[in-house]
Structure 1
Amino acid sequence: MKRCDFRGQTFTQRELIDALPRAEVSVDDAAHIVEPMLAGVRERGAAYLRELSEKFDSVRPHHLRVPANALTSALKTLDPMVRAGLEEAITRVRAVHKAQRPHDFTVEVAAGASVRQRWIPVARVGLYVPGGLAVYPSSVIMNVVAAQEAGVQSLAVASPPQARHGGLPHPTILAACELLGVSEVYAVGGAGAIGMFAYGAAGSEPQDGEWLCEPVNVITGPGNVFVAAAKRLVRGHVGIDAEAGPTEIAILADDTASVEHVVADLISQAEHDPQAGSVLVTMSESLADQVAQSIGDVAGRTKHAERVVEALSGPQSAIVLVDDLDQGVAVVDAYGAEHLEIQTADASRVADRITNAGAIFVGPYSPVSLGDYMAGSNHVLPTGGCAAFTSGLGVHSFVRAVQVIEYTRDALAELEGRIVALADAEDLPAHGEAVTARFDQ
Structure 2
Amino acid sequence: MNPLTDAAPQAAAARPGTRPAIRPNVLVMAVAGAVTVANIYFPQPLLDAIARGLGVSQHTAGLVSSAAQLGYALGILFIVPLADTARLRRLTTILLALTSGGLLVAAAAPNVLTLTVATLAVSTTTVLPQVLTPVAAALAGPGDRGRVVGLIGLGLTLGSTVSRTVSGAASDAGGSWRTAYLLAAAATAALLFVVPRGLPERAGPVGDRLPYPRLLASLPRLFAEHREVRISALTGAAVFASYSVFWATLAFHLAAPPLGLGPGVAGLFGLLSLPGALLSAYAGRLTDRYGAGAVNAWSLLCVAVSLAVVGLGALSPVALVIGANLLILGTSASQVANQARIFDLGTRVAARVNTVFMLSTFGGGAIGSLTAVWLYGAYGWTATIVAAAGFTALGMLLVAVTRRTAPSCAPGDRREAGTHHPRSPAGRDDA
| TM-score > 0.5, shorter chain as reference | no
Task: Give the number of the structure whose alpha-carbon radius of gyration is greater.
Answer: 1
Relative contact order (alpha carbons < 8 A, sep ≥ 6): 1 or 2 greater?
A: 2
Which TM-score band applies after superposition, normalised by the shorter structure?
A: under 0.3
More helix by share: 2
